[in-house]
């Protein structure tokens, strides 16, 4: 089964089971884009390989429960504020 077919299949299951119009990966990608951060930054914040993070956003890999709990418990903004590398504004 190709990745494209799997993605469509997962989305159809979500629509039928939960009435959801977007997958968790699509929501993750949209939230990241709204906050204006890149894939590499988000992956580093959560200790994940950037390629794996991109697979999560594109529904090519299932997002682990532990990661979903971190996101839904604290929110993405909490994890973004916990920056590992200081931005130029923080160095002043």
pLDDT per residue as tens digits for the range 43-83:
988 889 999 999 999 988 989 998 888 888 877 777 666 65
- Specify the pLDDT at position 52: 96
d(CA 35, CA 17): 29
Q: Is the pLDDT of residue 36 over 50?
A: yes
**Does the reported pTM lie above 0.85?**
no
Residue keyed to tokens 């977007």: 22
What is the SS3 assignment for 49? Answer: coil
Region 25-32: mean pLDDT is 88
């Amino acid at each position: 089964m190709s990745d494209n077919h799997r993605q469509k299949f997962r989305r159809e299951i979500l629509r039928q089971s939960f009435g959801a119009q977007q997958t968790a990966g699509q929501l993750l990608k949209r939230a990241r884009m709204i906050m204006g951060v890149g894939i590499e930054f988000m992956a580093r914040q959560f200790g994940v390989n950037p390629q794996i993070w991109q697979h999560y956003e594109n529904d090519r890999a299932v997002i682990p429960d532990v990661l979903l709990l971190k996101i839904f418990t604290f929110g993405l903004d909490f994890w973004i504020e916990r920056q590992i590398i200081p931005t130029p504004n923080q160095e002043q």
